[in-house]
Structure 1
């Protein structure tokens, strides 16, 4: 083996002379085999070192690029999460706004319900809590596993509460609609076929021209409320107008029930004085002398004093074109132009004027047309 190596070195690395000419002189340098081997080894080592270093630099550069790409991917994912959270937050805010408008409408309707409808069946829930999602993009960070669980739980809780409140509002509006429709239909059915229909139509027309109203404008955002709910709200407004109309009518007779009897009805009869056929434009309510006579509804005194066959006479003007008249009074307790409240004592029963005995002659006029007071009272008593 040493002979082979020695032969290899002598063959490939023989002693060589290197001639160098400088300033006219020639010099020679002998390159021994060991020097040639050393130089070759140094060159080989340098090449190997450069190759290894280049490979390491390439691998590090690739690793850095991979890390940077990973960071970019994470940033894109975070931005997507931010966008998803913002979208979810915007949806929650929209849902909250819808619930708030429904609640405001429901509360307003409950407060506006007439006394004829019970409020006990309606149940209101507290306002929905604010969204747990952070809307500030700059504060977003990748959540820990525990944070993710809490966030998902909060989102699930919000959705469950939203569904519950939405269902509850739907149920309450359905209950309200049923009661409002029932009350409305009952009133319309009772008023059909009576002279009150025309008075009602006139009242609804004039109600749109009502004065002495005002206040800050605070309207509902109808775009966030289902049209079916708005229909119910409009039906309630109409019902309140009906109730207002009924409240202003003389829905009772002007005497306590135990203190009178009907001695003459409305319509055709024999006149008590001459026994001839005549039309009786009111009803006669007989009772004890000086029995108190009450105003059947709020109104203004149009006339108070002597009036021919009526004797001592009072005429009251009420709302919606309704007028009531009271004749044969023993005493008048009011004067012209005086404002009268329902159940105020306006006079005492007597027998003045064209009368055969103590009684009250009572008339009701609607739009200057005489109507049967008993028919009106009976119809209105069914409403209440």
Structure 2
């Protein structure tokens, strides 16, 4: 091995002399193989260094551009993740605010009485429908307040957001369950109204069409919740049965429609003329076809004749405004009271009128005295009830007097 190395050294790096001549004198310097090898190594290293440095200098711009592209890609990825996080946070807040609005709506329906029984389980034997108590809504309200009320404690990770979304979903399920149960109770109340209206000879649909817009202006409130097009009471009455019961779709939409209908019916019943206008009487002529007492010919009688003593007080059947007071042809001395929501009552053949046109009267207030003015054969009150410019049978109205007064009392106490 040494022989080969020695042979290579003497072949490529033999001893060399450098001659220098100056002023006729010749000198030389001997360069040994070792010096040549060391010098060659140094020269080779220098050439490599120059080559690498030149390459790096020439490729520096490309490397920097690649690094800048990588940094930009990382920045875009971060911005995308940040935007996604902000979107998730906004979705969580929007969901929480929507649940908060629904929570306030449920609180409004439940009321302030926290002593009422907790909502029973569905289809549980031996239980009756009960209104969910406000105390049962407090855990949801506490969570929503904690979530939507903090401005400096945003969810900072997708895991935290996922956890909050799960909790909000659970709250939404519970709210929907309460809404469905409240819907059942609301529909039961509406069914009671419907039975009374049917007994009085009224159509609930016609009542809602006539009275809906006016009754909806009565005392209402609560937070706004956008559930699509707002329905009038008449429109809510035409909803598909599955939408009305909340079996399909959003139960809050069905609950809102039913509550709107119930509010309209409540406003209608508030001034429904059901009180009998005289206390002591007998029916001398009923509603409908009859033999006219004067002409002895068959005729249509749009009211009832309530016979009694002269000067018997005649009272307003409900609160209202006097729309007519004076002489009115065959009616004689005549009073008409507008009770609102399409209802009007008429009082004819009065001996004396006790009110004036435009005067506001209350239920039970005396509007006149019984007499026999106009086309009459003796002292009596000719009494008519009109709804939406159509006459009703007052005797049917009298049959539901107790039911209507009971409903009025219940809702007056409930609103107080």
TM-score of the superposition, structure 2-length normalised?
Answer: 0.57
Whether 1:204 and 2:226 are equivalent positions in the alignment is no
Deviation per CA, 1:147-169: give whole Å up to 9, x if none.
Answer: xxx74664355224422332243
2:259 pairs with 1:236 = yes
Q: Does the aligned pair in 1 maintain the 2:277–2:314 contact within 8 Å?
A: yes
Q: CA deviation at 1:250?
A: 0.6
- Residue 88 of structure 1 corresponds to 85
2-side partners of 1:370 and 1:205: how far apart? Answer: 15
Rounded Cα–Cα distance in structure 1 between residues aligned with 2:225 and 2:79: 32
Work out whether 1:364 is the aligned partner of 2:385: yes
Structure 1 unaligned segments of length 5 or more: list them: 135-149
For residues 275-286 of structure 1, what are the structure 2 equivalents within 5 Å?
281-284=303-306
| Inter-CA distance 51–293: structure 2 relative to 1 (3 Å threshold) | farther
Which of 345, 362, 367 is matched with 1:346 structurally? 367
Match of 2:411 in 1: none
Quick check: 187-196 or 154-163, which moved more? Answer: 187-196
Which whole-Å deviations, capped at 9, do the CAs of 1:261-315 have from their partners, x for residues lacking one? 645462478999999999873152758x876543222333244456788776433
Q: Of residues 242, 246, 250 in structure 1, which corresponds to 2:269?
A: 246
Residue 120 to residue 286, structure 1, CA distance change in 2 (3 Å): farther
Distance 1:155 1:109 in 2: 26
Report the counterpart of residue 266 of structure 1 in structure 2.
Answer: 286
SS in 2 for 1:296: coil
Any conservation in 1 of the 2:85–2:158 contact (CA below 8 Å)? no
Query: Using the alignment, how far apart are the partners of 1:319 and 1:252 within structure 2?
Result: 16
- 1:36 paired to 2:32: yes
Task: Name the SS of the counterpart of 1:245 in structure 2.
Answer: helix
2:126 alignment counterpart = none
Aligned-residue offset at 1:204? 1.6
Q: Describe the shift of the 1:102–1:333 C-alpha distance in structure 2 as closer, same or farther (beyond 3 A).
A: farther
In the superposition, relative to structure 1, how do residues 378 and 109 fare at CA in structure 2: closer, same or farther (>3 Å)?
farther
- Change beyond 3 A, Cα 1:355–1:113: farther
Structure 2 partner of 1:159: 165
1:170-319 paired onto structure 2 within 5 Å: 170-192=176-198, 195-197=201-203, 201=206, 204=209, 221-222=226-227, 229-254=252-277, 259-260=279-280, 262=282, 264=284, 266-267=286-287, 281-284=303-306, 293-305=314-326, 313-319=334-340
How does the TM-score come out when normalised to structure 1?
A: 0.61
1:59-106 per-residue CA deviation (whole Å, 9 max, x = no partner) reads x99xxx99x999987985675355234213313313432443454466
Does 259-268 or 367-376 show the bigger shift?
259-268
Give the paired residue count: 342
Pairwise CA RMSD:
5.7
2:345 match: 324
Distance 1:245 1:209 in 2: 9
Is the CA contact (8 Å cut-off) linking 1:304 and 1:335 kept in structure 2?
yes
Counterpart in 2 of 1:143? none
**In the superposition, relative to structure 1, how do residues 112 and 28 fare at CA in structure 2: closer, same or farther (>3 Å)?**
same
Larger Rg: 1
In 2, Cα distance between equivalents of 1:203 and 1:243 = 11
SS in 2 for 1:318: strand
